[in-house]
């Protein structure tokens, strides 16, 4: 697992109408994540990608810069706060094991 160093910044911007704060994560492999997140939304999910698990809000944009300088940017273009229906998910019956508790 890669160690990370979180560096808060004074940068703030709006994405999709939400005020976003900036945070920079520096990883031991030399890569850097520049993250924009909002703390205006309450999150009900506590499982995130490793790079986002300690971010105190919902990530709406991030740029990954590799140690070699390659950059990739992701940014939300739409936000749907409707609950997800369980029917959207399927379980592969061949890849899980049912355990009977006695």
Whole-prediction pTM value?
0.70
The predicted pLDDT at position 1 comes to 36
| CA atoms of 44 and 60, how far apart (whole Å) | 16
Q: Which domain holds residue 27?
A: 4-88
When divided into structural domains, the chain yields a total of 1
Is residue 102 one of the residues assigned to a domain?
no
> Does the pLDDT at position 13 exceed 70?
yes
Is residue 54 one of the residues assigned to a domain?
yes
- pLDDT above 90 covers what percent of the chain? 28
Which pair of structure tokens corresponds to residue 40?
A: 């205006």
Is residue 42 one of the residues assigned to a domain?
yes
| CA atoms of 84 and 55, how far apart (whole Å) | 23
Is residue 100 one of the residues assigned to a domain?
no
Is residue 98 one of the residues assigned to a domain?
no
Assess contact for 37 and 60: CB atoms under 8 A. Answer: yes
């Amino acid at each position: 697992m890669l160690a990370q160093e979180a560096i808060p910044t004074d940068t703030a911007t709006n994405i999709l109408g939400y005020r976003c704060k900036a945070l920079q994560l520096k990883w031991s492999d030399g890569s850097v994540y520049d993250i924009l997140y909002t703390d205006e939304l309450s999150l009900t999910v506590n499982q995130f990608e490793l790079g986002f698990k300690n971010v105190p809000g919902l990530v709406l944009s991030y740029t990954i810069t590799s140690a070699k300088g390659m950059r990739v940017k992701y940014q939300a273009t739409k936000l749907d706060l409707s609950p997800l229906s369980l029917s959207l998910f399927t379980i592969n019956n061949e890849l899980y094991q049912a355990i009977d508790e006695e």
